[in-house]
Amino acid sequence: MTAIAANSHTAEEFRAATQRAAVFPSDAGLLRLTGEDARDLLNRLSTNLVDPDGAAGEIAVTVLTSDRGRIVDLVYVVHCGDHQLMLTSPGQQQNVIDFLDKYTIMEDLEVEDATADTAMLTLTGPAANEILGRAQSIDAVRVSLPADPDDPDRPPTCQLLCLDRDAANRVLTALESAGAVSVSATTAETLRIAGGRPAYGSEMGDTYNPLEAGLIGAIDFHKGCYIGQEVIARLDTYDKVQKYLVTLRFESRAGDASEMAAALPNARLTDDAGDAMGLVTSAAAVPTTDGANLIGLGYVRTRAVQIGGRLKVASDDGDSGIVAEITAQPLLFGGEKPGLAG
């Protein structure tokens, strides 16, 4: 569960990131997969189509799920021709390796943890693609993350650059020279929460399934079976999803935004009658010119998910005096894909 504060330094960084572009180190894990069966096995184990016959350069975003349909990890698979690169959530490399090993029987697959030998940078913001085009001498694997899946004409504004570790400083300098601003981990986390991106340990993990986490766009309901497929299909078909990830804006009569952000994760959300409706999972104080706005992510019961809906933040003593307004139900990769024609 995550909470971060705001100060004048992060205010300048946040403004630069949202108005132009920011760059910061990524803590994502990186696995190198080799073997003739790598893509076929990933396709049979995960929620989305990882085309075994896909062309080099293709990027597939998919979810590894347990046999109960719970999230093992959200991963990005980059087809590099004779091998695959898989980006995992920070610190989840071994968890993913163990999952792959559990279901590898006779397949030709070798998995190597390449995280320690690689540097990764995240470039984000409305001018990210422009800056990447202007930067010189960048030899890296690029993984684009969608910024607005409901607007196909809007280009991605977030890219992960997988680099040789020795090249990281040179590439960082090139991006800064092209107009990107280096920002702190605090600002990076604020951007994640503001963008409605779930993180492992806060909004993703064995407690949640991908439908709850807004990852329906990373599920192909028209492909063959995968681990957890029956559970996920049943939840979707019969509308049995019990809760959904939402973005929140908090209102309070008084108090320091930074202190409240630190106290919000794990706080219960209730309706006016005091009935439990959800849980805050992450919170941040977003810097403004005259203070800070308090935002967050959380899970809310399906029947209470309504944009503009207001819930109370409970405290050990009852009502904390903080109200949470639901501002969006983020779908990181858009909604459900259309069915196959014909």
Per-residue pLDDT band for 254 (boundaries 50, 70, 90) equals: low
Contacts of 98 (CB under 8 A, 6+ apart): none
Give the CA angle between residues 86, 87, 89 to the nearest 5°.
135
Q: What is the pTM of this model?
A: 0.93
Strands of 29-34's sheet in order across: 59-65, 71-79, 84-88, 29-34, 110-113
pLDDT, tens digit, 9 for 90 and up, residues 111-122: 999 999 999 999
Q: Which pLDDT belongs to residue 139?
A: 83
Lowest-pLDDT range of 151-160, 258-267, 304-313 = 151-160
Do 6 and 292 form a contact (C-beta atoms < 8 A)?
Answer: yes
Q: Which pLDDT belongs to residue 320?
A: 79
Per-residue pLDDT band for 33 (boundaries 50, 70, 90) equals: very high
Give the pLDDT mean for 291-315. 94
What's the mean pLDDT when you consider all of the chain?
Answer: 91
Lowest-pLDDT range of 34-48, 198-212, 286-300 = 286-300
Q: Which pLDDT belongs to residue 315?
A: 81
Give the pLDDT mean for 59-88. 97
* Tokens encoding 87: 């980006």
Q: Which pLDDT belongs to residue 292?
A: 82
Per-residue pLDDT band for 321 (boundaries 50, 70, 90) equals: confident
Q: Does the pLDDT value for residue 155 go beyond 50?
A: yes
Q: Does the pLDDT value for residue 104 go beyond 50?
A: yes
Q: Does the pLDDT value for residue 174 go beyond 60?
A: yes
Closest CA relative to residue 3, chosen from 205, 251, 192: 192
Contacts of 341 (CB under 8 A, 6+ apart): none
DSSP E strand stretches across the chain? 2-4, 22-25, 29-34, 59-65, 71-79, 84-88, 110-113, 118-124, 141-145, 158-164, 181-182, 243-252, 268-270, 276-288, 291-301, 310-315, 318-328
Q: Which pLDDT belongs to residue 138?
A: 81
| Rounded Cα distance, 142 and 159, in Å | 6
- What single-letter DSSP state applies at residue 105? S
* Tokens encoding 178: 């092209």
Give the CA angle between residues 21, 27, 30 to the nearest 5°.
115
* b/e sequence 51-71, b meaning 16+ C-beta within 10 Å: eeeeeeeebbbbbbbeeebbb
Q: Which pLDDT belongs to residue 342?
A: 41
Q: Which pLDDT belongs to residue 337?
A: 76
Lowest-pLDDT range of 6-15, 242-251, 311-320 = 6-15
Q: Which pLDDT belongs to residue 341?
A: 46
* Tokens encoding 3: 């909470």
Q: Give just the sign of the alpha carbon dihedral 45, 47, 51, 55.
A: negative
* Tokens encoding 263: 């106290």
**Strand pairing report for 310-315 and 268-270:** antiparallel
